[in-house]
Amino acid sequence: MTERLDGPQDPPVDSTGGPTSGPDTPPKRRRLGPSPTIAIIFLMPAALLLGIWVVYPIGYSIFRSLFDASGQTFVGLENYGTIFSDGGTLRTIRNNLIWVVVAPIVVTTIGLIFAVLTERIKWATAFKLIVFMPMAVSLMAAGVIFRLVYDEDPDKGLANAVMTVVGDTFSSAQGYPEARARTGDESPVAAEEDGTVVTKQPVEAGQPVLIPIVGVKPEVMPANAQPAVAATGGDGLAGTVWFDFTPGGGGVNGQPDATEKGLPGMTVEAVSDGQVAATATTAEDGSFRFEGLSPGSYVVRLPADNFTAAYNGLTWLGPTLITPAIIGAFVWVWAGFAMVLIAAGLAAIPRDALEAARIDGASEWQVFRRITVPLLSPVLLVVFVTMIINTLKVFDLVFIIAPPSVQPEANVIALEMWRVSFGGGNNQGLGSALAVFLLILVLPFMIMNIRRFKRGDS
């Protein structure tokens, strides 16, 4: 059964091919047709439902949109004016615009790439099933899935867990936000304007370098920190970076006491004439040692990035990233749709055309660019337009993924329509205007559908 996604053996249902797609000509088939009365009986249930639940409401919504919240006072086009003047609704329009511009292109492109790539692997069916699967799942469940993925805590959210792993690979620095050098005349170190901590006096090998730090917040103190030990001599330039603070008082300022802990993971640089001569990282007890440093005097410094927070990923569900994050979930849901449709189109491309071009010496890219994509353009257009309509109507994903506090930032027209009409806004005049606005937005595609159908059917 699993090979079916690979390509239905029988042709998909379409307007021309029925079960057997017999060669019968249309004019002949209706000769013995029944009377219109019987036709009306067959159509009646559908006509009633469509009339009462779909067609009449379109008229009523337009009518209702001309009245205020109470429905008593005629306000003309005022509700439509509100849509284009209120900051909240303008933001929904802006967000929908982002959706319409970004999501269809991304989904169609990914669908095309997947469709082409699946032709090159043997387990294409399994791949298609996996990517297609989100189509069967409710957007509600998809929303819960992505709320989990986007959780800001890297110990809960997969996205930030991956990002911190990648981030840590590129910089091993342990962050100590708000920590700073102990200042004062007696302190051996001073802070520069950008937060860099430098030794006041040049230091030389054999002379332990003490770098006392204060203001380390308990929650950033690494669990593996060991009591600080003053570096002893030996060869090479060595020293200690430690948290110069004894809880409950006591201890000598500027000296590592037994009660004080080293600060592991600090990046330490030895500088000579403005050039970084060597770099070291502090151990669990805060000690560091520069290996292979030529003798001489150096200034030792802790670069400012030691005092920025450790990289913890992105605030996906915050006001800035919320719309891109939800678009990511949308792409996850719809990529399979695009892939399967485009793959079917790809399979219908005559292989001779591709082979002929290859024999003529065209590269794979040229074949793809000049033959495959143009031949696919009808399917690509269908996918693209379907995605535009879907993005205009997007509701569930935004409603579920955006936490209540950032929902105004992520709001879209369909959600705002529900919110003002039923979700506490209590203004069905404005709600009707938003619904009509949404209908107007999909109207061009409705006309396009009708035109395409007329062309295809005659």
Partner 1 sequence: MTTATAPAPARSHAGAPRRNLIGRIVDRLGSGVVQVVMILLGLFWLVPTLGLLVVSLRTTEVNNAEGWWTIFTKPAELTIANYSDLLAGGFGASFWNTVAITVPTTILVIGIAAMAAYAFAWMEFPGRDLLFLVVVGLLIVPIQIALIPVAALYGQAGIFGSIPGVVLFHVAFGLPFAIFLLRNFFIGIPASLLEAARMDGAPEWRIFVSVVFPLGKPAIASLGIFQFLWVWNDMLIALVFANSANQPMTKYLQSQMRQFGTNMDILSSGAFLSLIIPLVLFFAFQRYFVQGMMAGSVK
* Residues 139-178 close enough to bind partner 1 by CB under 8 A: 139-141, 144-149, 154-158, 161
Q: How far is CA 132 from CA 113, 180, 330, 361, 427, in A?
A: 14, 52, 13, 36, 39
User: In this complex, which beta carbon is closest to partner 1, that of residue 80 or of residue 445?
Assistant: 445
Answer yes or no: are the C-beta atoms of 31 and 150 closer than 8 Å.
no
- Measure the CA–CA gap between 107 and 99, rounded to whole angstroms: 11
Asked if 103 interacts with partner 1 (CB under 8 A), we say no
CB 81 to partner 1: min, Å: 19
**Site residues (CB under 8 A) for partner 1, limited to 323-352:** 332, 335-337, 340-341, 343-344, 346-348, 351
User: In this complex, which beta carbon is closest to partner 1, that of residue 17 or of residue 296?
Assistant: 17
CB 439 to partner 1: min, Å: 5
User: In this complex, which beta carbon is closest to partner 1, that of residue 39 or of residue 90?
Assistant: 39
Q: Which of 236, 395, 409, 425 binds partner 1 (CB under 8 A)?
A: 395
Asked if 18 interacts with partner 1 (CB under 8 A), we say yes
State the chain's maximal CA–CA distance in angstroms: 110
* SS3 call for 297: strand
CB 143 to partner 1: min, Å: 8
Asked if 369 interacts with partner 1 (CB under 8 A), we say no
- Binding range to partner 1, per CB under 8 A, among 85-93, 112-120, 167-175, 298-306: 112-120
CB 79 to partner 1: min, Å: 12
User: In this complex, which beta carbon is closest to partner 1, that of residue 43 or of residue 105?
Assistant: 43
> Rounded to the nearest 5 degrees, what angle is found at the Cα of 100, between the Cα atoms of 98 and 104?
120
CB 20 to partner 1: min, Å: 6
Tokens found for residue 40:
């009306």
CB 163 to partner 1: min, Å: 13
- Binding range to partner 1, per CB under 8 A, among 8-16, 167-175, 194-202, 288-296: 8-16
User: In this complex, which beta carbon is closest to partner 1, that of residue 78 or of residue 396?
Assistant: 396
CB 343 to partner 1: min, Å: 7
N-terminal to C-terminal alpha carbon distance within the chain: 36
Asked if 9 interacts with partner 1 (CB under 8 A), we say yes
- Measure the CA–CA gap between 449 and 444, rounded to whole angstroms: 9
Asked if 223 interacts with partner 1 (CB under 8 A), we say no
- Binding range to partner 1, per CB under 8 A, among 26-34, 208-216, 235-243, 266-274: 26-34
DSSP 360: T
Nearest to 327 by CA among 113, 31, 100: 100
CB 312 to partner 1: min, Å: 13
> Rounded to the nearest 5 degrees, what angle is found at the Cα of 316, between the Cα atoms of 312 and 317?
125
Q: Which of 168, 235, 305, 355 binds partner 1 (CB under 8 A)?
A: 355
For residue 300, the surrounding DSSP H or E stretch is: strand 297-302
Answer yes or no: are the C-beta atoms of 260 and 251 closer than 8 Å.
yes
Total residues interacting with partner 1, rule: CB under 8 A: 136
Asked if 104 interacts with partner 1 (CB under 8 A), we say no
R_g over Cα of the chain: 34
Asked if 410 interacts with partner 1 (CB under 8 A), we say no
CB 13 to partner 1: min, Å: 4
DSSP 13: P
User: In this complex, which beta carbon is closest to partner 1, that of residue 10 or of residue 193?
Assistant: 10
Strands 267-272 and 237-243: unpaired
- Measure the CA–CA gap between 207 and 209, rounded to whole angstroms: 6
Report phi then psi at 272, rounded to 5.
-135, 125
CB 174 to partner 1: min, Å: 20
Tokens found for residue 272:
């000579």
Asked if 320 interacts with partner 1 (CB under 8 A), we say no
Asked if 362 interacts with partner 1 (CB under 8 A), we say no
For residue 3, the surrounding DSSP H or E stretch is: none
With a CB cutoff of 8 Å and minimum separation 6, the contacts of 82 are 89, 430, 433
User: In this complex, which beta carbon is closest to partner 1, that of residue 142 or of residue 231?
Assistant: 142
- Measure the CA–CA gap between 300 and 302, rounded to whole angstroms: 7
Asked if 219 interacts with partner 1 (CB under 8 A), we say no
CB 332 to partner 1: min, Å: 7
Q: Give the CA-trace dihedral at 349, 351, 357, 361, to 10 degrees.
A: 130
Asked if 46 interacts with partner 1 (CB under 8 A), we say yes
User: In this complex, which beta carbon is closest to partner 1, that of residue 130 or of residue 166?
Assistant: 130
- Measure the CA–CA gap between 268 and 233, rounded to whole angstroms: 18
Asked if 353 interacts with partner 1 (CB under 8 A), we say no
